[in-house]
Chain A
Amino acid sequence: DVKVTQSSRYLVKRTGEKVFLECVQDMDHENMFWYRQDPGLGLRLIYFSYDVKMKEKGDIPEGYSVSREKKERFSLILESASTNQTSMYLCASSLSNSDIRRYEQYFGPGTRLTVT
């Protein structure tokens, strides 16, 4: 079974803090994704990575950056957290960088981030 883990289930941070969200997958997947999920807006892609050190912007990259130094780990960084970044953050992974579209995405349990 594919396992995607996220470092925290719940996180509370203050405005202006630098926040790191970590995601690890154990299935040697090439592709990894960060989404945020908000009521009424559904899931929106922030960034994805198709290989180590490679990244692409999604729909809403503003205010976020990512890091992928190892294949199994994909980090989402909030450089200076703001209250409008309060959300559920979901990490996902999928097989193969030859065609990112082909394989199903497997999700982690999510991190509920509150910025006060």
Chain B
Amino acid sequence: KQEVTQIPAALSVPEGENLVLNCSFTDSAIYNLQWFRQDPGKGLTSLLLIQSSQREQTSGRLNASLDKSSGRSTLYIAASQPGDSATYLCAVMPWSNYQLIWGAGTKLIIKP
């Protein structure tokens, strides 16, 4: 059974730092992987989607990588800003069905 883990559960860093959020999954048979952010009490915003054939995707200061063989994805945030403070969730779409499997999220706080 596919399981998705995000470590750490919470992270606090000073503004301006580059940082990496981690997502690991137990079954490499994935169709794609998606990163989201969620602000407190709000819905999810899609950040990046990586298909299984891709190694990375970039959007602005965000870069997501995918290594299926090791069961890992990372979300790299460059030059962090206080506005990046949110919970970041990763979700894996298995090959075998159509339901996303979700990680529990990493709560990120960027200190001014």
Show the binding face of A for B, using Cβ within 8 Å.
4, 6, 42-43, 45, 48, 58-59, 90, 92, 100-110, 112
- Report chain B residues within 8 Å CB of A92: 44
Leading 8 A-B pairs by shortest Cβ distance: A107-B44, A100-B98, A104-B49, A109-B43, A107-B43, A110-B43, A101-B31, A42-B102
| B61: interface (CB < 8 Å) | no
Query: Could you list 19 A-B pairs, sorted by A, with CB under 8 Å?
Result: A4-B43, A42-B103, A43-B100, A43-B102, A45-B99, A90-B43, A92-B44, A101-B31, A101-B32, A101-B98, A103-B49, A104-B34, A104-B49, A105-B46, A107-B45, A107-B46, A109-B43, A110-B42, A112-B41
Chain B 78-109 interface 0/1 with A at a Cβ cutoff of 8 Å (1 = within): 00000000000101010100111011110000
- In the complex, residue of chain B having the shortest beta-carbon distance to the beta carbon of A10: B41
- In the complex, residue of chain B having the shortest beta-carbon distance to the beta carbon of A111: B43
User: Complex Cα distance A103/B34, Å?
Assistant: 10
